[in-house]
Copies of this chain bind each other. A is one copy, B any other.
């Protein structure tokens, strides 16, 4: 059976508070046994990678460019997709769940595509989406702490039909 993945999305530059929150998200996800996948660059991506590595977690980075050396130093598996902005669709599709921390327009595209797939997305100080435009039951799970974000995602995954994980 393959491993559960959780994507962490957010800005390549971020505030100290966002960095600390994303790092704690990475730690908590690793403790829950998730591999962490990000866009591989700085800011929130680096912080989540760092936190996950601190807990011995596996960290993947799906880079927009073609050079693995662009990855932040906490990425263990760097995939230089070369796809530019289209790699955001890969990040959105990679996770069984997504945590969004802050972020700007790139993050918004990832959140939108993850929700479109029906993937649960928890948000920490990130975009608020107009509820009238979202299919029922499909919005961001707003959290006020890293712990709550991870708890909300675990609950959403547990509520799904079928066995846990991505495969039976």
Q: Which residues does A use to contact B, with CB under 8 Å?
A: 1-3, 5, 35, 37, 58, 60-62, 66, 68-69, 71, 73, 75-86, 88-90, 92-94, 96, 103-106, 108-109, 112-113, 115-117, 127-130, 133-135, 138, 166-167
Q: CA–CA, A77 to B1, complex, Å?
A: 9
Which residues of chain B are within 8 angstroms of A135 by Cβ–Cβ distance? 104-105
- Contact between A133 and B113 (Cβ–Cβ < 8 Å)? no
Which residues of chain B are within 8 angstroms of A85 by Cβ–Cβ distance? 82, 89, 92-93, 113, 116-117
- Contact between A134 and B104 (Cβ–Cβ < 8 Å)? yes
Q: Which of B79, B84, B105, B106 is the one whose CB lies under 8 Å from A84?
A: B84
Q: CA–CA, A60 to B70, complex, Å?
A: 20
Q: Which residue of B lies closest to A114 (CB)?
A: B105
- Contact between A108 and B104 (Cβ–Cβ < 8 Å)? no
Q: Which residue of B lies closest to A84 (CB)?
A: B82
- Contact between B105 and A112 (Cβ–Cβ < 8 Å)? yes
A78 CB to closest chain B CB (Å) equals: 5
Which residues of chain B are within 8 angstroms of A94 by Cβ–Cβ distance? 79-80
Q: 18 other contacts beyond A60-B60, A88-B109, A104-B133, with CB at 8 A cut-off?
A: A1-B73, A5-B79, A68-B167, A79-B79, A81-B86, A81-B90, A82-B86, A83-B83, A85-B116, A85-B117, A86-B90, A89-B89, A89-B109, A104-B134, A105-B112, A106-B113, A108-B129, A108-B133
Q: CA–CA, A35 to B88, complex, Å?
A: 23
